[in-house]
Amino acid sequence: MAGSSIAGMIVGTVFIVIFASATVTMVDNINKAQQATEVNLPDPEIDLITAIWTSNDGGTLVLTISNVGSETISVNHIYFSLDGGTPLSIGDSSLTLDSTGSLFPGETIDVTQTGVADAPTDALLVAFEYSSSVTVT
């Protein structure tokens, strides 16, 4: 009688350990599934404050750009286009900008493009899923 009880307890304990282990594995997998909703995608907020065109030097356009978000972003990942034209990175070597390569939160920079012969009407700035546009003055 005592031997049977002990054998039953041992077998029962083994089953409990096996099921506990399976439960822990399942909880881990459920947690992993929940991580999908916690992915932090790049979410910069870059505003185009002004776009001013002057006829100097064959047409000069100065864009004033400000990082109003909380993420630092490379200038190479910020693009602008004039009147729906071909987008150009503000990090392009043909432009002049007072930045060391990154735009930090709260920072405002000027980007200068020369050789813009005709005064554009509007300028659009795009960085990841954020965009901002102004009328060129």
Partner 1 sequence: MGDGPSELIMLTTGLVVATIVSSLLLSTWGSISQGLDNQGEQELMDSKTRVSIVNNPASITWDDDAIDTEVKTSIFIQNSGKTTLNIESTYIVIGGVMMTASASATSPTMWSVGEVIEFEITVLEDDFDPPDVPTEFFLNIGVTSESNTPTGTYSASEVIRLV
Q: x/- binding map, residues 20-59, to partner 1, per CB under 8 A? A: --x--xx--xx-xxxxxx-xxxx-----------------
8 near partner 1 (CB under 8 A): yes
> C-alpha angle with apex 122: 119 to 66, nearest 5 degrees?
110
Alpha helices in the chain (DSSP H): 2-35
Strand pairing report for 79-82 and 88-89: antiparallel
77 near partner 1 (CB under 8 A): yes
Taking a C-beta distance cutoff of 8 angstroms, is the pair 51, 136 a contact? yes
2 near partner 1 (CB under 8 A): no
- When the beta carbons of 66 and 132 are compared against partner 1, the nearer one is 132
> In the bound complex, what is the minimum distance in angstroms from residue 24's beta carbon to partner 1?
10
- When the beta carbons of 55 and 76 are compared against partner 1, the nearer one is 76
Q: How many other β-carbons are positioned within 10 Å of the β-carbon of residue 60?
A: 16
